[in-house]
């Protein structure tokens, strides 16, 4: 492997000149620059990442802490990851995947100076990783909202606003008995913050609009979805609208409604909270509030990068939801 000294020699300049050509941190005359660039190309030179990190305290690597096991939803995870990967690439950053549940992986990566910043997904309420993140010299961005955000930057969809928009949309169509199918009971028991925010937003708006709202969990399986549909229909007789925040259960819930002879949106309006492509690609395109996975991923990277260059205080960014009307919601009969 060619080193920077080889390049300098080949170009007839000093190593520092080569370094500055590469970094652009000081002006270089056109002829010098092109000689250096030619030498770089000729030798197929690539800077050694470790040496660079040692000398500059910058790795150009971003840690991504991702839950590979108890993922809320693989699809959504992939959207986040994809948004993060793209944005990182755009900033000339690589992504180091950290999947260990405990903090040891994070600790090594952070304190071993392997990365310049961290993005953490699916943080739990009393996550052992939070203190490690807080003490790190690198900026950290969480996707989601932990209980105590002090000193940590967070980005997430504004789920309270998701809840209220959903209820408002249906109330404006004249619906007065609305059901909500949420994520699996595991998420309810963990008291996941997005769920609480969604419910709070929906309930507040339901009160304001004077409509009835019933919310229950819903497992991701075919059977679970059918049970949830049956159960909410029993619990809320005369229900005419359903909000479903559960991508995996969505098709099964709809199938169950059909089985029960309910037409959509004739008998029951359905509003999905899910990634836009999922809603649009159902047999009946669904009115939906997007879960903008890629956008959140991008925002997380941008926040991290910002904090690297400047050093801003921590900030929480909640993305406003977007409701797209398609064919599954309509006026109550």
Partner DNA sequence: CTGAAAGCGCTAACAC
Partner DNA sequence: GTGTTAGCGCTTTCAG
Strands 287-290 and 316-319: unpaired
Establish if 44 lies at the interface with a copy of itself (CB under 8 A): yes
Phi, psi (degrees; rounded to nearest 5) at 265: -95, 10
Look at residue 322 and give the partner it binds from DNA, a copy of itself, none, a contact being a CB closer than 5 to 8 Å depending on partner kind.
Answer: none
Cβ atoms of 125 and 147 within 8 Å: the answer is yes
Binder to a copy of itself among 10, 64, 142, 232 (CB under 8 A)?
64
E strands, 109-202, where?
117-121, 140-143, 153-157, 177-181
Q: Whose Cβ is closer to a copy of itself: residue 75's or residue 231's?
A: 75
Look at residue 82 and give the partner it binds from DNA, a copy of itself, none, a contact being a CB closer than 5 to 8 Å depending on partner kind.
Answer: a copy of itself
Phi, psi (degrees; rounded to nearest 5) at 140: -125, 140
Establish if 14 lies at the interface with DNA (CB under 7 A): yes
Establish if 15 lies at the interface with DNA (CB under 7 A): yes
State the minimum distance, in angstroms, from the CB of residue 64 to DNA. 24
Q: Whose Cβ is closer to DNA: residue 46's or residue 69's?
A: 46
Establish if 74 lies at the interface with a copy of itself (CB under 8 A): yes
Sort 126 into a burial class: Cβ within 10 Å, 0-12 / 13-18 / 19+: exposed
State the minimum distance, in angstroms, from the CB of residue 50 to DNA. 7
Establish if 26 lies at the interface with DNA (CB under 7 A): yes
State the minimum distance, in angstroms, from the CB of residue 107 to a copy of itself. 7
Look at residue 234 and give the partner it binds from a copy of itself, DNA, none, a contact being a CB closer than 5 to 8 Å depending on partner kind.
Answer: none
According to CB under 8 A, which residues from 120 to 159 bind a copy of itself?
137
Alpha-carbon separation of residue 200 from 142, 213, 220, 322 (angstroms): 22, 11, 22, 18
Establish if 38 lies at the interface with DNA (CB under 7 A): no
Binder to a copy of itself among 5, 38, 51, 131 (CB under 8 A)?
51
Tokens of residue 310, six digits: 């400047």
Picking from 99, 128, 97, the residue whose alpha carbon sits closest to that of residue 115 is: 97
DSSP string, 265-277: TTT-EEEEEE-HH
Binder to a copy of itself among 3, 32, 75, 306 (CB under 8 A)?
75
Binder to a copy of itself among 281, 312, 327, 331 (CB under 8 A)?
281
Establish if 3 lies at the interface with DNA (CB under 7 A): yes
Binder to DNA among 9, 34, 37, 52 (CB under 7 A)?
52
Distance of CA 268 to the CA centre of its chain: 31
Q: How far apart are the C-alpha atoms of 225 and 116, rounded to whole Å?
A: 43
Cβ atoms of 17 and 32 within 8 Å: the answer is yes
Cβ atoms of 119 and 143 within 8 Å: the answer is yes
Binder to a copy of itself among 5, 26, 42, 49 (CB under 8 A)?
49
Establish if 174 lies at the interface with a copy of itself (CB under 8 A): no
Taken in order 152, 104, 67, 310, the sign of the CA dihedral is positive
Q: Whose Cβ is closer to DNA: residue 41's or residue 147's?
A: 41
E strands, the chain, where?
61-65, 94-98, 117-121, 140-143, 153-157, 177-181, 212-216, 241-244, 269-274, 287-290, 316-319, 323-324
Look at residue 31 and give the partner it binds from DNA, a copy of itself, none, a contact being a CB closer than 5 to 8 Å depending on partner kind.
Answer: DNA
Write out the residues near a copy of itself by the rule CB under 8 A: 1, 44, 46-54, 59, 61, 64, 68-69, 71, 74-75, 77-78, 81-82, 85-86, 89, 94-100, 105, 107-109, 111-114, 137, 221-223, 251, 255, 281-283
Write out the residues near DNA by the rule CB under 7 A: 1, 3-5, 12-17, 19-20, 22-23, 25-29, 31-33, 45-48, 51-52, 54-56
């Amino acid at each position: 492997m060619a080193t920077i000294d080889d390049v300098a020699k080949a170009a007839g300049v000093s190593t520092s000149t080569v370094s500055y050509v590469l970094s652009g941190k000081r002006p270089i005359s056109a002829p010098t620059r092109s000689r250096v660039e030619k030498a770089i190309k000729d030798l197929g030179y690539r800077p050694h990442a470790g040496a660079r990190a040692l000398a500059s305290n910058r790795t150009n690597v971003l840690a991504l802490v991702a839950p590979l096991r108890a993922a809320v939803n693989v699809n959504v995870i992939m959207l986040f990851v994809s948004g993060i990967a793209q944005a990182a690439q755009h900033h000339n950053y690589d992504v180091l995947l950290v999947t260990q549940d405990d903090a040891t992986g994070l600790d090594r990566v952070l304190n071993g100076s392997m990365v310049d910043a961290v993005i953490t997904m699916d943080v739990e309420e009393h996550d052992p990783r939070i203190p490690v993140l807080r003490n790190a010299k690198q900026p950290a961005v969480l996707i989601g909202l932990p209980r105590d955000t002090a000193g940590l930057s967070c980005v997430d969809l504004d789920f309270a606003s998701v809840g209220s928009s959903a209820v408002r949309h249906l109330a404006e169509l004249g619906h007065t008995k609305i059901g909500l199918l949420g994520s699996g009971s595991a998420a309810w028991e963990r008291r996941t913050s997005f769920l609480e925010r969604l419910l709070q937003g929906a309930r507040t708006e339901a009160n304001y609009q004077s409509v009835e709202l019933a919310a229950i969990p819903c497992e991701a399986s075919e059977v679970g979805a059918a049970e949830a549909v049956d159960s909410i229909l029993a619990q809320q007789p005369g229900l005419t609208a359903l909000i479903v925040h559960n991508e995996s259960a969505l098709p099964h819930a709809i199938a169950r409604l059909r089985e029960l002879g309910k037409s959509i949106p004739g008998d029951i309006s359905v509003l999905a909270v899910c990634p836009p492509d999922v809603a649009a690609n159902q047999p009946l395109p669904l009115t939906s509030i997007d879960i903008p996975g890629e956008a959140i991923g991008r925002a997380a990277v941008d926040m991290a990068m910002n904090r690297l260059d400047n050093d801003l205080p921590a900030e929480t960014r909640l993305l406003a939801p977007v409701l797209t009307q398609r064919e599954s919601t309509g006026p109550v009969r």
